[in-house]
């Protein structure tokens, strides 16, 4: 029955496909370009701009002009300098939120989905409690409870984002745990935590990576919101939320520029993160 | 073929069902496999072949449970009634070859790394695992083990993947290899190669093999003994020669006849099985 079939000319072996990296979604490229561009401006431009903290009473609340492109705030500080100066801080904080939430969420989600049983119950009930609070309220609660400070504001925003990561990862882990390569490792006697780390986690984090980019965008909004309410970053530090908060009192007097421009930058950064997230989500459906 | 064989695997009265009171999927199954021999479990889809193999490996999904009987591999119990599931660290000497070789490999890890990991899990040190993994890949007929070792599963063919899986199993030197439809997803020429490789491996390792298949022709070439499952019930056990030439149970007779082309395929399906039990 095993008579060999002979090809007249044996077909050449296919060269391994390495097309993965060349198929980066244009949305992802656009989002990354936007964020990297912002960061570059944030690093370089401050050298050519006035001190973001320097006040000048005589120059207070000037509308945009050739000298002050974005105008000045009520202390006479240059809004352009402050907006640009805040790029590094805001993007770093947003990234920190996304990374923290991703790490905690995927670890818990992998454990819950892979271990099942009591572990799953405990983790998911805890997540249910977290998810019961509106995200912004939870972030405020945590930031207030832990203490006032940038780190705690980041922790609050990250924690509020954790439930979604856990659910996404757990759902994937539930199906990965029944895959043959996981079963094969179990038969070999590989320890459960090792299997979870080497086989289940890497294969379960796809949706969570998309979510991380999304959270990066939302985190900027949340952090700005918290700063607006006086939690986290404080004046006179240049931060978009702080700037909007400071400018808000002046808007009724027609001084729109000290709030509008930081708001636009929040929008830009959020769009950058969301483009990456959206692009990756589309890539995963291919 | 000597007389001094010991039974590597003994299954006695294995009964598997859905939960505690649901339908029974495998009913009172008993057999033994001697070291160095191949036992085939033959049966149609849904006859309980795969459930049997999962039960023996201790990998039943949570919804299924062993209701009675026990399985011993090298004298150690791997599955018995009342045991929910195996703990991760009580290592049993079983290697599993699955139907879909691609699914049996982690898609995000290079093949060499997976092979080394499985060797490390078996207690080898890093350097030894490194060299042994290349040896193993060569043993299963992979010409350039270094390049293949660096490839991801999606970069090599299904037949290659199955060779890698076999290399992994061989590396663990198990007492029992469970091969669940190992060639079903492969095309015919590759099938023959993989079966030949499997046969050679068994001879070299001297381990017992449980070959699950729906293909009587495959079973006939590979197996020393055969067990025919029908609706979860063992209807015939014996040497391959006996089952192929002198089957006693009506289902087996029709199965063999169908393969030989003596009965139309329909004849097997028309019976509802009531009289066959």
Contacts of A96 (CB under 8 A, 6+ apart): A154, A158
Contact (Cβ atoms closer than 8 angstroms) between residue A239 and residue A246: no
Q: What is the pLDDT of residue B277?
A: 41
Token pair for residue B243? 């089952």
The CA distance from A213 to the nearest CA of chain B, in Å, is: 21
Does residue B233 register a pLDDT over 90?
Answer: no
Mark yes or no for CB contact A180/B122 under 8 Å. no
The CA distance from A74 to the nearest CA of chain B, in Å, is: 56
Reported as a pLDDT band with limits 50, 70 and 90, residue B4 is very low
Among B59, B195, B217, select the one facing A187 at the smallest CB separation: B59
Reported as a pLDDT band with limits 50, 70 and 90, residue B75 is confident
Residue among B182, B13, B126, B45 nearest A184 (CA): B182
Quote the percentage of chain A above a pLDDT of 90: 30
Rounded average pLDDT over B259-275: 53
Residue among B268, B215, B243 nearest B42 (CA): B215
Quote the percentage of chain A above a pLDDT of 70: 91
Token pair for residue B32? 């033994």
Does residue B246 register a pLDDT over 70?
Answer: yes
Q: What is the pLDDT of residue A249?
A: 82
For residue B213, report the phi and psi dihedrals to the nearest 5 degrees.
-155, 155
Q: Which carries the bigger pLDDT value, residue A152 or residue B272? A: A152
Beta bridge partners of B238: B226
Q: What is the DSSP letter of A188?
A: H
Mark yes or no for CB contact B106/A203 under 8 Å. yes
Does residue A286 register a pLDDT over 80?
Answer: no
Mark yes or no for CB contact B59/A189 under 8 Å. no
Does residue A182 register a pLDDT over 70?
Answer: yes
Give chain A's length: 286
Q: What is the pLDDT of residue B276?
A: 45
Mark yes or no for CB contact B196/A198 under 8 Å. no
Reported as a pLDDT band with limits 50, 70 and 90, residue B198 is confident
Residue among A199, A154, A200 nearest A173 (CA): A200
Contact (Cβ atoms closer than 8 angstroms) between residue A182 and residue A200: yes
Give the number of other CB atoms < 10 A from CB of residue B276: 16
Reported as a pLDDT band with limits 50, 70 and 90, residue B2 is very low
Contact (Cβ atoms closer than 8 angstroms) between residue A166 and residue A128: no
Each residue of B47-64: pLDDT tens digit?
888 888 888 888 888 788
- Interhelix angle A79-115/A257-285, rounded to 10 degrees, is 30
Q: What is the pLDDT of residue A53?
A: 81
DSSP calls for A15-52 = PPP--GGGG--HHHHHHHHHHHHHHHHHHHGGGGS--T
Mutate to test the interface with B, among A118, A181, A199 (most CBs of B within 10 A): A181
Between CA B37 and CA A253 the distance in angstroms is 92
Return mean pLDDT, chain A. Answer: 84
Token pair for residue A119? 């572990």
Least confident of A16-25, A204-213, A227-236, B41-50: A16-25
**Chain B CB within 8 Å of residue A5 CB:** yes
Q: What is the pLDDT of residue B187?
A: 80
Annotate A136-145 with b (16+ C-beta within 10 A) or e (fewer): bebbbebbee
Quote the percentage of chain B above a pLDDT of 90: 10
For residue B173, report the phi and psi dihedrals to the nearest 5 degrees.
45, 60
Domain count, chain B: 1
Beta bridge partners of B11: B31, B71
Does residue A23 register a pLDDT over 80?
Answer: no
B122, part of any domain: yes
Between CA B37 and CA B22 the distance in angstroms is 35
Where do the domains of chain A lie, and which CATH numbers do they carry?
92-285 (1.10.3720.10)
Rounded average pLDDT over A148-169: 91
Q: Which helix (H) or strand (E) holds A113?
A: helix A79-115
**Chain B CB within 8 Å of residue A178 CB:** yes
Beta bridge partners of B96: B178
Residue among A100, A122, A107 nearest A193 (CA): A107
B106, part of any domain: yes
B119, part of any domain: yes
DSSP calls for B130-188 = HHHHHHHHHHTT-S-HHHHHHS-GGGS-HHHHHHHHHHHHHHT--SEEEEESTTTTS-H
Residue of A nearest to B155 (CA): A16
Reported as a pLDDT band with limits 50, 70 and 90, residue A20 is very low
Rounded average pLDDT over A18-33: 74
Q: Which helix (H) or strand (E) holds A142?
A: helix A135-146
B49, part of any domain: no
The order of strands in the sheet holding B24-34 is B24-34, B7-18, B64-73, B76-80
Does residue B101 register a pLDDT over 80?
Answer: yes
Each residue of A82-128: pLDDT tens digit?
999 999 999 999 999 999 999 999 999 999 999 988 999 999 999 99
Rounded average pLDDT over A55-68: 79
Q: Which carries the bigger pLDDT value, residue B180 or residue B259? A: B180
Q: Which carries the bigger pLDDT value, residue A57 or residue A280? A: A280
B133, part of any domain: yes
- DSSP E strands, B19-152: 24-34, 38-42, 64-73, 76-80, 94-97
- ipTM attached to this prediction: 0.74
Mutate to test the interface with A, among B59, B62, B106 (most CBs of A within 10 A): B106
Reported as a pLDDT band with limits 50, 70 and 90, residue B6 is low
Mark yes or no for CB contact A116/B121 under 8 Å. no
Rounded average pLDDT over A260-278: 90
Residue among A222, A198, A124 nearest A165 (CA): A124
Mutate to test the interface with B, among A178, A179, A189 (most CBs of B within 10 A): A189
Does residue A208 register a pLDDT over 80?
Answer: yes
- SS3 helix, strand, coil % of chain A, rounded to 5? 75, 0, 25
Residue of A nearest to B104 (CA): A181
Greatest Cα pair distance, chain A, in angstroms, is: 98
B150, part of any domain: yes
The CA distance from A189 to the nearest CA of chain B, in Å, is: 5
Mutate to test the interface with B, among A179, A186, A187, A203 (most CBs of B within 10 A): A187
B164, part of any domain: yes
Q: What is the pLDDT of residue B92?
A: 65
Mark yes or no for CB contact B96/A187 under 8 Å. yes
Q: What is the pLDDT of residue A7?
A: 47
Rounded average pLDDT over B152-177: 88
Number of H helices, E strands in chain A: 11, 0
Q: What is the pLDDT of residue B140?
A: 86
Q: Which domain holds residue B128?
A: 102-172
Least confident of A18-32, A195-209, B246-260: A18-32
Distance (Å) of CA A162 to CA A209, A224, B29, B145? 13, 19, 48, 43
B24, part of any domain: no
């Amino acid at each position: 029955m095993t008579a060999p079939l002979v090809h007249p000319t044996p077909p050449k072996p296919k060269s391994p496909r390495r097309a993965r990296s060349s198929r980066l979604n244009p949305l992802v490229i656009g989002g990354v370009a936007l964020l990297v561009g912002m960061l570059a401006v944030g690093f370089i431009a401050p050298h050519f701009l006035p001190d973001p903290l320097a006040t000048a009473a005589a120059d207070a609340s000037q509308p945009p002009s050739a000298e002050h492109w974005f105008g000045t705030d009520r202390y006479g500080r240059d809004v352009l300098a402050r907006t640009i100066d805040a790029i590094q801080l805001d993007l770093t904080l947003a990234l920190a939120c996304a990374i923290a939430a991703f790490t905690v969420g995927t670890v818990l989600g992998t454990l819950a989905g892979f271990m099942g049983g009591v572990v799953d119950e405990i983790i998911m009930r805890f997540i249910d409690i977290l998810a019961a609070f509106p995200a912004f309220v939870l972030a405020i609660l945590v930031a207030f409870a832990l203490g006032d400070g940038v780190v705690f504001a980041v922790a609050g925003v990250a924690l509020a984002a954790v439930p979604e990561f856990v659910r996404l990862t757990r759902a994937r882990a539930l199906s990965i745990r029944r895959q043959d390569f996981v079963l094969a490792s179990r038969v070999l006697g590989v320890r459960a935590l090792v299997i979870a780390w080497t086989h289940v986690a890497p294969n379960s984090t796809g949706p969570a990576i998309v979510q991380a980019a999304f959270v990066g965008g939302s985190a900027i909004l949340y952090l700005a919101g918290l700063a607006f309410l006086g939690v986290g970053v404080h004046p006179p530090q240049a931060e978009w939320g702080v700037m909007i908060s400071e400018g808000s009192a002046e808007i009724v007097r027609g001084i729109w520029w000290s709030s509008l421009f930081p708001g636009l930058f929040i929008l830009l950064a959020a769009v950058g993160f969301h483009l990456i997230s959206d692009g990756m989500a589309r890539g995963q459906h291919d | 073929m000597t007389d001094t064989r010991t039974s590597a695997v003994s299954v006695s009265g294995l009964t598997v069902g859905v939960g505690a009171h649901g339908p029974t999927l495998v009913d009172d199954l008993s057999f033994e496999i001697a070291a160095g021999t191949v036992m085939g479990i033959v049966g149609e889809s849904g006859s309980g072949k795969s459930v049997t193999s999962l039960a023996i490996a201790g990998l039943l999904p949570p919804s299924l449970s062993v209701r009675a009987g026990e399985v011993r591999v090298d004298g150690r119990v791997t599955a018995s009634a009342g045991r929910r599931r195996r703990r991760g660290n009580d290592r049993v000497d079983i290697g599993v070859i699955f139907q879909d070789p691609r699914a049996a490999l982690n898609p995000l890890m290079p093949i060499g790394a997976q092979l080394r990991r499985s060797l490390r899990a078996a207690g080898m040190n890093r350097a030894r695992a490194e060299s042994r993994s290349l040896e193993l890949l060569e043993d299963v007929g992979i010409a350039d083990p270094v390049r293949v070792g660096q490839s991801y599963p999606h970069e090599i063919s299904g037949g290659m993947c199955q060779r890698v899986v076999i290399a992994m199993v061989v590396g663990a030197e198990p007492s029992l290899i469970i091969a669940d439809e190992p060639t079903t997803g492969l095309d015919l020429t590759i099938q023959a190669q993989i079966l030949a490789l499997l046969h050679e491996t068994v001879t070299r390792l001297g381990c017992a093999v449980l070959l699950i298949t729906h293909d009587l022709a495959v079973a006939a070439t590979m197996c020393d003994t055969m067990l025919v499952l029908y609706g979860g019930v063992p209807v015939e056990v014996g040497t391959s020669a006996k089952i192929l030439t002198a089957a006693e149970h009506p289902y087996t007779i029709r199965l063999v006849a169908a393969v030989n082309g003596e009965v139309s395929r329909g004849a097997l399906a028309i019976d509802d099985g009531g009289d066959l039990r």
